[in-house]
Structure 1
Amino acid sequence: MSDQHHPPGVDTTAANPARMYDHALGGVHNFAADREHFARILREDPDARLVVAANRALLRRAVRYCMRQGIDQFLDLGSGIPTVGNVHEAAHQLDPRSRVVYVDNEPVTVAHTRRLLRETDNAAMVDADLRAPESVLRAAETRRLLDPDRPLALLMVAVLHWVTDAEMPGLLHRYTDVLAPGSHLVISHLTDDYRPGLMRRVGRLFEETRAPLVYRSRTEVADLFDGFDLVPPGVVHSADWQAQPYERLPAPERSKTWAAVGRKR
């Protein structure tokens, strides 16, 4: 994306994690500042692209798993720019009638997603901060597409590590408490369980984007599934979650991300 063509109010001189993620996946909805900052992260951690790719592959596998369980509606919080393998494409390959609501408040993400979905009736974009559950759940697009009386998949993929410990208490339950039994919760979360020194250095680079990271341990990620039964294999590296042999990494900890899916009791 040219730095001269962007939604109003976007600071193209400041790197943004959503746009860096888009760049890492080979997308074009990013600016020079995003690319330059991601290059700095790559110099610190050469596995940074692998981390992003493993997470996106996990998202596709989790969507397909949920659909095999009869889930046909998805709420994707902190959805990011729909670059490659986004939720509605993965879902519609199996059932074109499935419904998807994306939620994000980054201007480029919102604008691009709405353009992408102009001719798609059963997917929509909600411009909202996931930290405001009532705004998300009461949005016209959410109420039009999602039936709260039926199971749905709540996707929180690579997003909760942007939520601080002070913001976290009660936030997740404000979403999960209203889910119908049988709903599924999908979470992936960056961790410093491995190579904490490296992750601290990467974290300092993200602090410069005004989006500080909060790493959480495997135990802390498991605790997020209160009220849910974990689907096998439980909390594992993102590259390992129900992956085919060709998708697994020789050293799965290089994904630096815990991932799990749970079913609401």
Structure 2
Amino acid sequence: MTSGALDRKDRARAFVPDLIPEPQDVDRTGPLDARELRDLDRIHAARDHHQAARWMRGKALEAAFRRCLFRGDDGSRTRQQYLDDEWDGISESAAYLEIREWRLAAAISQAGERPAPDSHVRALVEIAEKHGCDETALRYEELRNYAREHQHRVTAKVVTTLATYLSTGEMPTPQLDTLFVPRQLPSQTAADGAEEPFQNFGMAEGEGEDSSSGMEAERLRVNSALDAAVRQLDSLIDRLSALDGVAPHDVPAAEKAVRRIKAAGRWLGSKVTVPEDSVIDAEVVDD
């Protein structure tokens, strides 16, 4: 950090929109000079302010709902009518999603150098509800510190895998290096317009197969990969539920996505074998 530069948490508090540099083409090379460093610092301040404002929205929504401030001057306005009037028409389900997540987002902002992306908060919110926001934020910060030291990227998938580990017991400490296993995809041999194979959510070829060494670790990775897939599907369902009744903008693309999701079940069925005596409940899905 250069001399006089703001800490990231301070940037969010000191943010002034007019200080964002005007977008314009500049042909420069070499190290940044003092003015460019200042401009870059202001750009990052805008980024951090936006992310901090996300959890503030959730807190504001919860205050409006729990204090019944949504009811309006005549006392008859419903929550949804209030959201239509004052929150750009977001649905109640979308509002409650922000309410559910804001405490963890705030804890992460306080624990680390910068706020977390929405997808990261969403992946960890169930862990926070079970073990507390402060403890979950600490584990997330440990992950980010490890990634920074080892030059890894903290993606939403990595955070989802972390959540899977943390959900297996009383907040065990995962081996952080195992969370950054590169994602592999099955070979795509389907013809154009045919059903495509589905991504395997980080499960490398051969995982789940019996081997003489590391069998238990491989089995854990299978469960972690499947849990990650379920969380992503749950997130997709939540997002689509908030848009209930809205037709897709690109119908062919939507149909292709549905075919891909269906292909996922068939592909997973060929990769993961569940013993018959361990099946407790099942759901039949017609193609």
TM-score by length of 2: 0.30
Whichever structure has more strand as a proportion of its residues is 1
Rg larger for: 2
> Which protein, 1 or 2, shows the higher relative CO under an 8 Å CA cutoff with sep ≥ 6?
1
